[in-house]
A and B are shown apart, each in its own frame.
Chain A
Amino acid sequence: MNIEKIIEPYIEIQGGLIPALHAVQNDTGYLDIQSIKTIADGFNISTAEVIDVITYYDDFRLEKEGQYIIKVCQAEACQSLGCRALLDTLKHHFELNSGETSNDHLVTLKEVFCLGNCALSPSVMINEDIIGRASSEKILAYLSEKKNNSNND
C-alpha cells in the first residue's frame, strides 16, 4: 500500500505521528528513508523531527529485521528463573548478539524488559506469540514448527 494512503487518517488526529509510524512499519516491516520523507511531508514537519521520534522508541526500526523477532525477557521475574542463561544459549545457537539479525533475515534476537507473563517465567515473545516457561528447546521447536507450516502453505 502506498505510504501516503496509510498515514492519511493519522494526519487528521491530534498527536498522530506515533500511530502513523506503527501503521507504516506494520505494512512495510521497517521505516526506510523514503517512507520517513513521505511521513514528514504528510505531517508537515522535517525528516529530522520524524527520525528524532523514531530513534527514541525501541519498537521502531530503520533497517529490515528478521522474519521472526525473538524478544527474550531480561527483567527481574525472568532473572529469577534463568533468563540470562537462556539468552546466552540463544545467542550462541544463532551466533547473534542482542539486537542483531541473521544474514538470511530469518531471525532477530532482542532483549526486552517484561512481557507481563511473570508468573510463568522465563518468557520469550516471538512476533506476537508469547512462550511461557521458556527454554531454548521450546523456542527452537516453535520456530521449526512455524517453518514447517509455512513450507506447507
Chain B
Amino acid sequence: MTDQIKIYIPKETSACSVGSELIAEKITDLAQGHKHISIIRNGSWGAFWLEPFIEIEKNGNRKGTSYLNKKISHLSSIEELFDDFYNSNPFNIMDIDFIKHQTRLVFSRIGLYDPLDLNQYRNSHGYKGLEKSFEIGQQQTIDEIKKSGLNGRGGAAFPTAIKMQTVLDQESTIKYVACNADEGDGGTFSDRLIMECDPYSLIEGMTIAAYSVGANHGYIYLRSEYPLAKYFLTEAIKILKSHNLLGKNILGTNFSFDIELRIGAGSYVCGEETAMMESIEGKRGLVRSKPPLPAIKGLFNQPTLINNVITLASMSVILLHGKEIFSQFGSGKSVGTMPYQLCGNIKQGGLIEVPFGITLNEMIYDFGAGTFNEKPIHAVQIGGPLGIYLPAYLLNTPLTIEALMDLKGSLGHGGVIVFDDSTNMALQAKFAMDFCAVESCGKCTPCRIGSVRGVELIDKIYNGTAVKADRILLEELCETMETTSLCAMGGMTPNPVRSIIKYFPNEMIV
C-alpha cells in the first residue's frame, strides 16, 4: 500500500494575491486519480514573503517551499511535481527564525490545517475554553480575563474586563456582543488572518464573551474589502450551527447564542465603535457622542459588548490556558503577546506575534531582514493612518503601548509600515489630512473642515509657498482637531502630521 501524501496549498488572501489559486488548480489536476494524495487548503503561516508556500507531508514529515518564482504549468504528472518540489530544498516552516522566534498564542493554529475542519479545531483544544467558561460561570470568566491583563487589541487598548463587567451588571434582558471586524487601518491584517485561518477561535471567543455578559445575539461587522474572510465566517457559522456550537442550548447547557454576519460598505470610520453601531442599525455611519457608553446603551439601545477580533480570539486562549498565559508577559498596559503586522517596504513581511516590548530594530531586521528594495530606512509608521512616523534614529523604540504614548503616538492595532529614503515626508503629512478629509463622517466640524484646511496648509508647505504664519496656523489647527473632535478620527489625525514636523523638520520647511 502506498503511504498517504498530503499537499497543503494555502487559501488565504495574501497567498491568493500571488497565485495560490492557480497552483491549486494545477496540482488538483495532476493529483487526479491518485487516491493516496489528498489536497488540503490550509490557512497561511503569516510569513507572506514565502507565499504561495506549498507544503507536502509524507510519512508524517511536513516540508514546504515557496512557489513565488516557480513555474509549474509545464509539469505533466504528479511525480514530476514531487521531483520538482523535493529538488527545491523544502524545509519545515517551524525551523525558520521568523516562525521559531515568535510566541504564537492567539495565532497558534494558523497555517496548520483547513480552517473549516472542525475536528482539527477540537483536537487542538478548540472549545475547551468555552467549556471552562461554562464550568466556572459568568463572573469568574470575567475575573479570569481581568487578571490576565487583556486590553483591547483594536487600537484603544481599553481594559477588556471593565467593558464585560459593565455589560454583565446591566439589568436588561436583551444584550448584544458585537465583533468589530472593520479592520481599516492601512498596514494591518491580523484580524483578517484570524478570520481566514482560524475562524472558530474568534467565534469561540465571541461565545465566551456572550455567555459571560449574558448576551444571546451577536454581530460580526466585517469590512467589505475582505471577501475571503466573509466566505470563511459564513461557512464557519453554518458548520458550528449544525454541531450545536452556535444556536440553542450550546454544548447541552441552557445558553443560546446566534451570530449574524454584517458586511460594511467601504467606510473607514465605521471601525469606530459608535459609527459601527449606526451602520449595523442600517444608518449612515455617523459617530455618536459618548456617554452613553455602548456597554450601557449600545446597539438598538441595549447594553452591548464591543470587541475587536483579536481581543475576542484571545479570550479563547485565556480561558483554555488560564490567565497566566497572558499575564506572564509584559508589564503595565502592555500585557501578553501582541500580533504585530510588519509591512510596507520590507523583505520579510507578515504576522509577528511576540510578547510586548520588542524594539523596531529587532522587528525590522531580525524578523523583516531589512527593506524590500535594499534602500536605507527613512521612516516607520506605527499604528495605522492615525499613528506617528518615527525616523531611523529612533528604531530602538520598544513597541509597547506606553512607549508609543510617550512619543505622542499610539500602538493602535499593531501595524508597522517601513518607508525608504525616497519617501517625501511632506507628502505623507498631507496624506494624513487628506485621508481624514475623505473618510470623516462629517458629524463634527474640526474633523470635517479641519482636515480640508490641513490639506491646503500642507500643500502650501509642499509647494514652497507657505509663510511663517501658515506654520503657526497648522499648529493651531492640529490642537483644535485634537481637543475638539468627537472621535479619534479627527482627534488623532494630527499625530502623524506633528510627528513629521518634529522628526523630519528639514522636510517641512516654511
Query: Which residues in A have some Cβ–Cβ distance to B below 8 Å?
Result: 13-19, 21-22, 52-53, 56-60, 75-81, 112-121, 123, 125, 128-133
Contacts and interface: CB of A to CB of B under 8 A. Distances in A.
B321 to A, nearest CB: 28
Given A56-B285, A77-B344, A113-B439, A119 B48 contact: yes
A118 B343 contact: yes
14 contacts: A15-B283, A19-B262, A56-B285, A77-B343, A79-B419, A80-B419, A113-B435, A115-B225, A116-B13, A118-B187, A118-B188, A118-B415, A120-B48, A130-B13
B345 A80 contact: yes
Given A53-B284, A76-B381, A125-B225, A119 B267 contact: no
Contacts of A81: 344-345, 372-373
A59 B188 contact: no
Contact of A116 (B49, B188, B266): B188
Contacts of A115: 13, 225
Interface stretch (B85-93, B121-129, B178-186, B208-216): B178-186
B265 A119 contact: no
A71 to B, nearest CB: 8
A59 B265 contact: yes
Interface string B400-433: 0000000000000001011110010000100100
Interface string B187-206: 11100100000000000000
A18 B279 contact: yes
Given A58-B266, A75-B385, A76-B431, A118 B344 contact: yes
A114 B184 contact: yes
Contacts of A129: 16
Contacts of B13: 115-117, 130
B265 A118 contact: no
Given A119-B48, A119-B341, 6 more contacts: A57-B267, A80-B419, A116-B225, A118-B186, A120-B349, A133-B17
Contacts of B385: 75-76, 113
A130 B17 contact: yes
A22 B223 CA distance: 13
B187 A53 contact: no
B341 A80 contact: no
Nearest to A71: B225
A21 B264 CA distance: 11
B266 A131 contact: no
B187 A77 contact: yes
B262 A76 contact: no
B480 interface: no
Interface residues of B, number: 59
A128 B341 contact: no
A146 B343 CA distance: 30
Interface in B14-60: 14, 16-18, 48-49, 51
Interface string B338-362: 0001111110011000000000000
A117 B17 contact: yes
B263 interface: yes
A1 B381 CA distance: 47
A69 B66 CA distance: 30
B265 A117 contact: no
A73 to B, nearest CB: 8
B261 to A, nearest CB: 9
B263 A113 contact: no
Nearest to A60: B265
Contacts of B184: 113-114
A56 B188 contact: no
B262 A18 contact: yes
B186 A77 contact: yes
B14 A76 contact: no
Contact of A119 (B49, B282, B438): B49
Contacts of A80: 344-345, 417-420, 423
Q: Which 3 residue pairs across A and B have the least CB separation, nearest first?
A: A119-B349, A75-B186, A132-B17
B170 interface: no
A59 B344 contact: no
